[in-house]
């Protein structure tokens, strides 16, 4: 009698275990590190828009609900495209970009865009921004000094385009700009010629400055001599001559004979 009563209970338990096992993927969810989950309540109004996204770890949910898991880490992707420069030349460009969904806005992202937000939002806006920005520049500008400026403009243009889409664009980097070999060689020759011209211009500028320096130096000497000539009077010269004679007379290695006379009255100096 007891066994007959236990049999239905055992069968019920087995059935429940089978159901639990079958629904385990729906009942028990593990969210990995760097991920968040958004709950869809089938009989409770759909997406939980105001609730905090499910964080990493183990969670148990009702089998009729569904949890959408998003990677909220910074992701990196690359995009190769062909665009036209200002003069209509085909340019192959390789762009790398970093992005991530806003973790606190996952419900809105899932509701408005979905999990394919990179393919549906970021890539089209990135391509549009790249075509728009590259189209403003000539090939030689892309190849040389304007590269960082162009990179910044593409980033800002794409960032503004995806603003409000619950996505953060971290950076846009130009990895490579491919030009036809003939155009590349022509640009390199032009840049080399410009550098040579700048070098010679620098040399000429230095020569001009040196010539100006010599003119200024000569003019200064001329002005000094003019001032000196104006200041030397006959009495000053005579006084200087007397001072020099007295200094010679004091020397132990000289025999000095002073003979007064001469048109200017200065003494004559004789010695060994």
Half-sphere exposure in the Cβ direction for 120 (13 Å, CA) = 10
Query: Picking from 52-56, 58-62, 132-136, 228-232, which range would have the lowest pLDDT averaged per residue?
Result: 228-232
Mean pLDDT throughout 124-141? 89
User: Distance (Å, rounded) from C-alpha 120 to C-alpha 109?
Assistant: 12
pLDDT of residue 11: 62
pTM: predicted TM-score of the whole model, two decimal places: 0.60
CA angle 64, 37, 58 (to 5 degrees): 80
Q: What is the pLDDT of residues 142-187, one digit of tens each?
A: 766 678 888 999 999 999 999 999 999 999 999 888 776 666 666 5
How high does pLDDT run on average in the chain? Answer: 78
Strand partners of residue 80? 94
pLDDT band of residue 226 (cuts 50, 70, 90) is confident
Helix (H, G, I), strand (E, B) or coil at 143: helix
Question: In the structure encoding, which two tokens stand for residue 144, read together?
Answer: 């040389």
Distance CA 73, CA 121 (A): 18
What's domain 75-179's architecture? 2-Layer Sandwich (3.30)
Specify the pLDDT at position 95: 93
pLDDT for the residue 187: 59
Of 18, 13, 28, 102, nearest to 67 by C-alpha is: 28
**106 vs 266, higher pLDDT:** 106
pLDDT of residue 154: 94
pLDDT of 129 strictly over 90: yes
Question: Is residue 254's pLDDT more than 80?
Answer: no
Cα 191 from Cα 3, distance rounded (Å): 97
Would you place residue 29 in the very low, low, confident or very high pLDDT band (cuts 50, 70, 90)? confident
Q: Determine the average pLDDT of the residues in 218-237.
A: 72
Cα–Cα dist 51/105, whole Å:
10
Q: Looking at 46-55, 94-103, 247-256, which range is the least confident one?
A: 247-256
Domain boundaries, the chain: 2-71, 75-179, 186-231, 234-270
Q: What is the pLDDT of residue 219?
A: 83
pLDDT higher than 60, residue 107 = yes
**238 pLDDT more than 60:** yes
Handedness of CA 28, 33, 35, 36 (dihedral sign): positive
Confidence of residue 255 (pLDDT cuts 50, 70, 90): low
- Tell me what pLDDT residue 184 has: 61
Please give the pLDDT value at position 49.
Answer: 80
Q: What is the pLDDT of residue 102?
A: 93
The answer on pLDDT for 136 being more than 60 is yes
What secondary structure letter does DSSP report for 57?
A: E
Neighbours of 38 (CB within 10 A): 22
163-191 burial, b at 16+ Cβ within 10 Å, e below that, comes to eebbbbbeebebeebebeeebeeebeeee
DSSP per residue, 204-253: HHHHHHHHHHHHHHHHHHHHHHHHHHHH--HHHHHHHHHHHHHHHHT-TT
């Amino acid at each position: 009698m007891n066994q007959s009563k236990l049999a239905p209970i055992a069968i019920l338990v087995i059935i429940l275990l089978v159901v639990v096992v079958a629904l385990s993927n729906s009942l028990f969810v593990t969210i990995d590190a760097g991920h968040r989950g958004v709950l869809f309540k089938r009989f409770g109004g759909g997406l939980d828009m105001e609730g905090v996204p499910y964080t990493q770890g183990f969670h148990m949910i009702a089998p009729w609900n569904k949890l959408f898991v998003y990677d909220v880490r910074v992701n990196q992707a690359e995009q190769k495209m062909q665009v036209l420069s200002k003069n209509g030349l085909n340019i192959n460009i390789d762009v790398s970009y970093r992005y991530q969904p806003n973790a606190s806005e996952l419900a809105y992202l899932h509701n408005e865009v979905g999990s394919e937000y990179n393919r549906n939002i970021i890539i089209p806006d990135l391509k549009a921004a790249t075509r728009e920005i590259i189209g403003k520049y000539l090939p030689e500008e892309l190849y040389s000094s304007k590269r960082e400026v162009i990179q910044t403009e593409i980033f800002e243009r794409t960032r503004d385009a995806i603003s409000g889409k619950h996505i953060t664009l971290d950076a846009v980097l130009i990895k490579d700009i491919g030009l036809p070999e003939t155009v590349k060689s022509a640009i390199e020759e032009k840049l080399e010629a410009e550098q040579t011209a700048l070098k010679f211009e620098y040399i000429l500028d230095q020569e001009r400055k040196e010539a100006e320096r010599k003119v200024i130096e000569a003019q200064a000497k001329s002005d000094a001599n003019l001032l000196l000539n104006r200041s030397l009077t006959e009495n000053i010269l005579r006084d200087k001559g007397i001072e020099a004679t007295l200094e010679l007379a004091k020397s132990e290695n000289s025999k000095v004979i002073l003979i007064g006379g001469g048109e200017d009255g200065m003494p004559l100096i004789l010695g060994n």
